[in-house]
Amino acid sequence: MLSAIELKKLYSSNEFINKYTYSNNDLGITYSREKTVFKIWAPTAEKIILNLYKSGNYKEHDIITSYELEFHRDGTWVKTLNGDLNGLYYDYKVYVNGSINITNDPYSIACGVNGKRSMIVDLNDTNPDGWNEDYARDRNDECPVIYELHIKDFSYDKASGIKDEYRGKYLAFTQTGTTLNNDGVHKTGIDYLKSLGITHVHLLPCFDYGSVDEGSKDESQFNWGYDPVNYNVPEGSYSTNPFDGKVRIKEFKEMVQAIHNAGLKVVMDVVYNHTYNLDTSLQKVVPYYYYRVNDDGTLSDGSACGNDTASDRIMYRNYMINSVLYWAEEYHVDGFRFDLMGLHDVETMNAIRKALNALPDGENIIMYGEPWAAGETAMDKKAVPALKKNVNLLDKNISIFCDDTRDSIKGHVFYGEVPGFINGGIGFEDKIKSSVLAWCSGNAEYSPHSPKQIISYVSAHDNYTLYDKLMETLREIKDYNKYDEELIRLNKLAASIVFTCQGINFFQAGEEFARTKQGEDNSFDLSPELNMIDWNRVYEYEGLVNYYKGLIKLRKNFTALHSMKNENLERYDFIDTKHDNLVCYTLLNDPDSKDIFTKLFIAYNSSLNDLNLNLPEGKWQLLVNEESSDLFNDEIFADGNISIPKQSALILGQK
């Protein structure tokens, strides 16, 4: 038996790479009614047995028969079985490195409950009516606005008016006409999402993950899902029947179709940087190949999850590319968000981008990730990590979350009491200016190709919600359920900054109605009641919701705010106001635009006082103030001196 260090040395050798690199995209099963071909890459295996089963329940001893695979080429093993095997389940017995491992297929496209057995499936059987006509990728969203949402959060609240059997499931997205407590007035569900003005629904991980028991009827189970088991299979706990492998596939497609029918696109949160644990098919088939190993033989843990996968190894790089392409093609997914992208190497990320671009309308598939890691990782020394400092080495159409913008606006992400610009921080004016310019002005230690590479945001699923962060910094006595006028005012200010920054806009579901998790900053496995969208709160804070809608409308109607061209950076004129806690500037519109307004005046006043300022020359129309972000039609004009109310944004337009 070879040790992890000995295997690492073997896998890194040119001899191994040259002899065992398999480039075809046919690993897993290739199904037809006449036959099914099983193919698995296992270069170090001594023998592999294929077991067929009647059901996907791994607790049942219902084996039909077994077959031995034959060694093929480039490290692959193959078995062809004649006849129609649609609906049967299978796993492998792999003899490797002194062990006998029972495992599902690393390339599974369907599986039974909890992902223990893989499934043979005719994917045509899983297509909902009209699936072949479902296509959103030709829609080029000039002003992308991304809404980050957890599938169970979306519909777990009974007040959503969504059917009980759909609550917390994929199918919740397919139900239209839902209203708050079925009152027939206040929109919930997919109709509410459509009304916001967003363009993309970013779904937290929804491939098959390990922290929830799919076979349990306990609906109180909850997890964000950052613990992958089967990368190419939808999560079963969101389906109405996790025991039948076809159901989750069809219902996932129905969800995507419903989101597309609402005029929105789907972004999938993908977690290729680690797995749930080391008890995986990847490890059981080719021990320690897919994982990074330190020089002392321990597993690399830059993910803080116990293991780091090895994107810098060619067969895992190919695995990632093919997996992303599979979701884009089979499930019509329109975008991908990469968890801890800094653990992957630049070459892999660029290869994924190139592969997506080659699809029909593939350049419209959005791609972004976290340009950081949780710690050091044992990446090949020749590889370049996809960290923020290396953003200029990434393809121009790979974007990164900008933690500088987030922390400049609201304060340190890990220390709740530390404020930023809006909530009492001192000396953040220059950082807010850099945030406005998407850190493309040369004032950062990294150099984006253009504003398009920057995700401008102030909150996401990780850490405190925006409202809870404001509560942490500003209130000794914390009452998360009491309407707090000052915190709502600051929430509006934060949103005003984000939606007038260059870059791609992103916000956490519920930020628009002061979402609270009662001060919990890491709710990944807490109760669904704490995590769920509180649909009553949506309408308790309807004024804030409408404020977000107005900001999105403004952004869409002023080309220079959303076109993300480098030329936009030259159209800013920052005003020296002599005031602390105040940032003011004008922005000329794209001269080729046909927008109503040719110029904007924007001011962010985070001080505790109203501040007076002389307006730039000309007649200005009020568009956004501390109360409303939708004053387009009111035609309130100003010139000369103007007062900018405390803790608020003011936006004026010039025709």
Catalytic residue among 339, 407, 468, 590: 339
Contact call for residues 73 and 26 (beta carbons, < 8 A): no
Please, which residues have CB within 8 angstroms of residue 13's CB and are 6 or more apart in sequence? none
Cα angle for residues 28, 31, 33 (degrees, 5° grid):
160
Name the one residue in this structure whose structure tokens are 């189970």: 221
* Spatial separation of the C-alpha atoms in residues 294 and 598, rounded to whole Å: 57
Contact call for residues 512 and 545 (beta carbons, < 8 A): yes
Cα angle for residues 345, 352, 504 (degrees, 5° grid):
90
* Spatial separation of the C-alpha atoms in residues 401 and 423, rounded to whole Å: 22
Lay out the sheet containing 70-71: strands in order across. Answer: 28-31, 35-41, 76-82, 70-71
The token duo for 110 is 């369907």
129 included as an active-site residue: no
Q: Of 307, 219, 325, whose CA–CA distance to 270 is shortest?
A: 325
* Spatial separation of the C-alpha atoms in residues 226 and 166, rounded to whole Å: 23
CB atoms within 10 A of CB 357: 15
β-strand 89-96 against 99-103: which pairing, if any? antiparallel
Contact call for residues 134 and 257 (beta carbons, < 8 A): yes
Q: Report H helices in 499-563.
A: 528-531, 535-540, 542-556, 559-562
Beta bridge partners of 53: 63, 89
Please, which residues have CB within 8 angstroms of residue 252's CB and are 6 or more apart in sequence? 170, 206, 234, 238, 239, 331
Q: Report H helices in 13-77.
A: 14-20
Catalytic residue among 141, 312, 370, 511: 370
* Spatial separation of the C-alpha atoms in residues 305 and 273, rounded to whole Å: 10
Give whole-number Cα distances, 535 to 162, 510, 531, 542, in Å: 11, 9, 12, 11
Helix (H) / strand (E) element for 336: namely: strand 335-338
Q: Report H helices in 499-621.
A: 528-531, 535-540, 542-556, 559-562
CB atoms within 10 A of CB 409: 31
334 included as an active-site residue: no
Give whole-number Cα distances, 625 to 46, 197, 281, 609, 628, in Å: 71, 20, 56, 15, 6
Beta bridge partners of 111: 118
Mind giving me the DSSP string for 410-429? H--SS-TT---TTTT-SS-H
Positions marked catalytic: 339, 370
